Amino acid sequence: MSDEQQDRRYQVVLNDEEQYSIWAADRDLPAGWHAEGTEGTREECLARINEVWVDMRPLSLRSRADQSAA
Protein backbone atom coordinates (compact mmCIF):
# COMPACT_ATOMS: atom_id res chain seq x y z
CA MET A 1 0.00 0.00 0.00
CA SER A 2 1.42 3.39 -0.96
CA ASP A 3 1.98 6.19 1.58
CA GLU A 4 -0.84 8.15 -0.07
CA GLN A 5 -3.26 5.26 0.44
CA GLN A 6 -2.18 4.84 4.06
CA ASP A 7 -2.71 8.56 4.77
CA ARG A 8 -6.06 8.79 2.97
CA ARG A 9 -9.16 9.31 5.11
CA TYR A 10 -12.27 7.30 4.37
CA GLN A 11 -15.87 7.39 5.46
CA VAL A 12 -18.42 4.65 5.88
CA VAL A 13 -21.33 5.08 3.48
CA LEU A 14 -24.55 3.24 2.89
CA ASN A 15 -27.33 3.22 0.34
CA ASP A 16 -31.10 2.99 0.60
CA GLU A 17 -30.84 -0.81 0.64
CA GLU A 18 -28.65 -0.52 3.78
CA GLN A 19 -25.60 -1.89 1.97
CA TYR A 20 -22.30 -0.52 3.31
CA SER A 21 -19.09 0.56 1.65
CA ILE A 22 -16.17 2.91 2.22
CA TRP A 23 -15.50 6.05 0.23
CA ALA A 24 -12.63 8.51 0.17
CA ALA A 25 -13.62 11.29 2.59
CA ASP A 26 -12.37 14.02 0.26
CA ARG A 27 -14.57 12.93 -2.66
CA ASP A 28 -18.22 13.69 -3.34
CA LEU A 29 -20.47 10.75 -2.62
CA PRO A 30 -21.97 8.93 -5.58
CA ALA A 31 -25.70 9.22 -6.18
CA GLY A 32 -27.75 7.02 -3.89
CA TRP A 33 -25.18 6.85 -1.07
CA HIS A 34 -24.98 8.82 2.18
CA ALA A 35 -22.49 9.07 5.02
CA GLU A 36 -23.07 6.77 8.00
CA GLY A 37 -21.02 9.01 10.31
CA THR A 38 -17.77 7.08 10.71
CA GLU A 39 -14.58 8.51 9.26
CA GLY A 40 -11.02 7.25 9.67
CA THR A 41 -8.44 5.00 8.11
CA ARG A 42 -9.45 2.29 5.67
CA GLU A 43 -9.00 -0.31 8.40
CA GLU A 44 -11.10 1.65 10.92
CA CYS A 45 -13.92 2.05 8.42
CA LEU A 46 -13.85 -1.61 7.44
CA ALA A 47 -13.90 -2.57 11.13
CA ARG A 48 -17.00 -0.39 11.64
CA ILE A 49 -18.75 -2.06 8.70
CA ASN A 50 -17.86 -5.45 10.14
CA GLU A 51 -19.54 -4.42 13.42
CA VAL A 52 -22.79 -3.08 11.99
CA TRP A 53 -23.46 -4.98 8.77
CA VAL A 54 -24.60 -8.27 10.22
CA ASP A 55 -27.19 -9.16 7.56
CA MET A 56 -25.86 -8.74 4.03
CA ARG A 57 -29.26 -9.06 2.39
CA PRO A 58 -30.61 -5.84 0.85
CA LEU A 59 -33.34 -4.10 2.86
CA SER A 60 -35.99 -4.87 0.23
CA LEU A 61 -35.25 -8.60 0.43
CA ARG A 62 -35.29 -8.58 4.25
CA SER A 63 -38.63 -6.73 4.18
CA ARG A 64 -40.18 -9.25 1.79
CA ALA A 65 -38.92 -12.13 3.93
CA ASP A 66 -40.42 -10.52 7.05
CA GLN A 67 -43.78 -10.05 5.27
CA SER A 68 -43.80 -13.66 4.11
CA ALA A 69 -43.08 -14.88 7.63
CA ALA A 70 -45.95 -12.84 9.12
CB atoms within 10 A of CB 55: 9
Strands of 1-70, DSSP E: 10-15, 20-24, 33-40
Distance, CA of 41 to CA of 1 (rounded, Å):
13
Give the model's pLDDT for residue 2: 64
Q: What is the pTM of this model?
A: 0.79
Query: What pLDDT score does 31 carry?
Result: 96
What dihedral do alpha carbons 5, 6, 10, 14 form, nearest 10°?
A: 80
Expressed as residue numbers, the domain containing 42 is: 3-69
Reading the chain (70 residues) residue by residue, the pLDDT tens digits are 566 667 899 999 999 999 999 999 999 999 999 999 999 999 999 999 999 999 888 778 877 777 777 7
pLDDT value of position 59: 78
**CATH number of 23's domain:** 3.90.820.10
